[in-house]
């Protein structure tokens, strides 16, 4: 019986799921948050129980050791040697990786080389890799790249209209993100459509971070995030697309410096920046329902940024068989789905099944039989993709 742990190391967090791969069941899952602070939070779920502890966890290395010690202490595994593979989510694989890869020195060097494209993530991923490698040296390790699914984009979709030398010399191009989620969700939709030879699917991954992808015949042909995850739709704290001249204006006329502007666009914009309430869609919606005009405006802008990409990808695909909603907002907000679809229903011939949208759970169809496009809710499962690729590449 092979056990694989899927790991997602963020700049100050470590998410994990331990799988029994023979039947793909989750043995335990959880997250360590606020790493590097005195009040780090360690949450672990196992045997139907949930254990939450607050303690000081200074580094990712100590977070990994705490996790592995807990697996033994709670008898989730009898020995760490039971874990045969560790699958690591890696945000940025550049143009090097079109699929997941067994981690060796060459892969490590490339992940490190690309850290300037994902400064908050790639270094943390490597820290997580080294910590697990030291703790379980017998386990194989695999990197699963957020960018890999989007390597099927053609140059006409990933080259920016700036001097070409910045692409050839500096690797400036669209890379996209959330690829593991877009891959999983689009494959589930293809399954639900009956595995047709040809398919045209739009995946809307809507959460604190959000992106849309046009998937044709199972391959990504365009995606809303760009050189970094800052591009595309409006998000929790990210601005998404805007006129780049605004950056120069804020520097020259307002007196901000470049780092402050980029920080503002990444951390202080989006739903938070417009509403002034929160980066969490639920909080903004509650405020809007209580009459907060800026919260209403933030939600209206968010919806219109999403439908702009739905329309763009409907045209790029030459039509659409299905739209799939996933991630925090996409999976959990019936209101967001209903409002977004209402804005495109007349143009695209979509008819929503209100009962399925509002009262259903899990994977489901939320459009009616007369709808010209099928609409699904598909809970994403990036960890399962990571675990599957780890098992496949390590021949477990």
Instruction: Return the closest-CA partner of residue 79 out of 131, 193, 1.
Output: 1
Catalytic residues, by residue number, are 146
Mean pLDDT of 100-125: 88
* pLDDT of 100: 94
End-to-end, the C-alpha distance of the chain in Å comes to: 9
- Render pLDDT for 212-240 as a digit per residue (tens, 0 to 9): 999 999 999 999 999 988 999 999 889 99
Is residue 288 located within the same domain as residue 202?
Answer: yes
Is residue 228 located within the same domain as residue 91?
Answer: no
Is residue 223 located within the same domain as residue 364?
Answer: yes
Is residue 218 located within the same domain as residue 71?
Answer: no
Full-model pTM: 0.89
CATH number at residue 139: 3.30.420.40
Is residue 200 located within the same domain as residue 132?
Answer: no
Report residue 39 CA to chain centroid gap: 26
90-94, 165-169, 285-289: range with lowest mean pLDDT: 90-94
Concatenated DSSP letters of 254-269: I---HHHHHHHHHHS-
Where is pLDDT greater, at 22 or 214? 214
The residue segments making up the domain with residue 213 are 195-377
Mean pLDDT of 273-286: 93
Mean pLDDT of 28-33: 90
CB 330 within 8 A of CB 280: no
* pLDDT of 8: 85
Residue ranges for the known binding site for ATP are 15, 205-209, 280-282, 328-332
* pLDDT of 60: 84
Is residue 223 located within the same domain as residue 127?
Answer: no
**Residue 190 falls within a domain, yes or no?**
no
Residue ranges for the known binding site for Mg(2+) are 8, 382
Is residue 38 located within the same domain as residue 133?
Answer: yes
Mean pLDDT of 321-328: 95
* pLDDT of 67: 93
Mean pLDDT of the chain: 93
Q: Is 177 helix (H, G, I), strand (E, B) or coil?
A: coil
Mean pLDDT of 126-138: 89
Total domains, the chain: 2
* pLDDT of 103: 95
* pLDDT of 125: 87
Is residue 219 located within the same domain as residue 121?
Answer: no
Q: What is the DSSP letter of 105?
A: H
**Residue 383 falls within a domain, yes or no?**
no
End of a domain among 145, 172, 204?
Answer: 145
**Residue 181 falls within a domain, yes or no?**
no
Whether 153 has a pLDDT exceeding 80, the answer reads yes
Is residue 141 located within the same domain as residue 199?
Answer: no
Whether 11 has a pLDDT exceeding 90, the answer reads no
Residue ranges for the known binding site for substrate are 89
* pLDDT of 59: 85
Is residue 128 located within the same domain as residue 257?
Answer: no
Report residue 71 CA to chain centroid gap: 27
Where is pLDDT greater, at 279 or 157? 157
**Residue 37 falls within a domain, yes or no?**
yes
Residue ranges for the known binding site are 8, 15, 89, 205-209, 280-282, 328-332, 382
Distance CA 348, CA 292 (A): 31
* pLDDT of 13: 79
* pLDDT of 187: 96
Instruction: State how far the alpha carbon of 235 is from the alpha carbons of 210, 324, 334, in Å.
Output: 6, 18, 18
Q: Is 143 helix (H, G, I), strand (E, B) or coil?
A: strand
């Amino acid at each position: 019986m092979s056990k694989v742990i899927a790991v997602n190391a963020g700049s100050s967090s470590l998410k994990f799921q331990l799988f029994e791969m023979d039947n793909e069941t989750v043995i335990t899952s959880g997250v360590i948050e606020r790493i590097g602070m005195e009040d780090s939070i360690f949450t672990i779920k196992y045997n139907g129980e949930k254990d939450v502890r607050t303690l000081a966890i200074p580094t990712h290395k100590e977070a990994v050791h705490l996790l592995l010690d807990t697996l033994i202490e709670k008898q989730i595994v009898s020995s760490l040697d039971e874990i045969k593979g560790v699958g690591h989510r890696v945000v940025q694989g550049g143009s090097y990786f079109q699929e997941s890869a067994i981690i060796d020195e060459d892969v490590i060097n490339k992940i490190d080389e690309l850290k300037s494209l994902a400064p908050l993530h790639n270094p943390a991923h490597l820290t997580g890799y080294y910590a697990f490698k030291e703790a379980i040296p017998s386990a194989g390790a695999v990197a699963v790249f957020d960018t890999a699914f989007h390597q099927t984009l053609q140059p006409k979709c990933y080259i920016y209209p700036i001097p070409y030398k910045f692409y050839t010399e500096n690797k400036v191009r669209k890379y996209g993100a959330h690829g593991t989620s877009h891959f999983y969700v689009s494959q589930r939709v293809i399954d639900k459509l009956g595995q047709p030879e040809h398919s045209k699917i739009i995946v809307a991954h809507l959460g604190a971070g959000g992106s849309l992808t046009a998937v044709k015949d199972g391959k990504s042909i365009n995606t809303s995030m760009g050189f970094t995850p800052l591009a595309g739709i409006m998000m929790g704290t990210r601005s998404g697309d805007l006129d780049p001249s605004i950056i120069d204006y804020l520097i020259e006329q307002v007196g901000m410096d470049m780092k402050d502007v980029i920080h503002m666009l990444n951390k202080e914009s989006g739903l938070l920046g417009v509403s002034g309430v929160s980066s969490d869609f639920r909080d903004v919606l509650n405020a809007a329902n209580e009459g907060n005009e800026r919260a209403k405006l933030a939600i209206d802008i968010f919806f219109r940024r999403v439908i702009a990409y739905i329309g763009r990808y409907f045209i790029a695909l030459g039509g659409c068989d299905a739209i799939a909603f996933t991630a925090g907002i996409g999976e959990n907000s019936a209101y967001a789905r209903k409002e977004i679809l209402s804005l495109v229903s007349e143009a695209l011939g979509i008819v929503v099944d209100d009962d399925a949208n509002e009262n259903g759970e899990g994977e489901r169809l939320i459009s009616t039989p007369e709808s010209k496009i099928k609409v699904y809710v598909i809970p994403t499962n990036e960890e399962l993709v990571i675990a599957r690729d780890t098992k496949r590449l390590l021949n477990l």
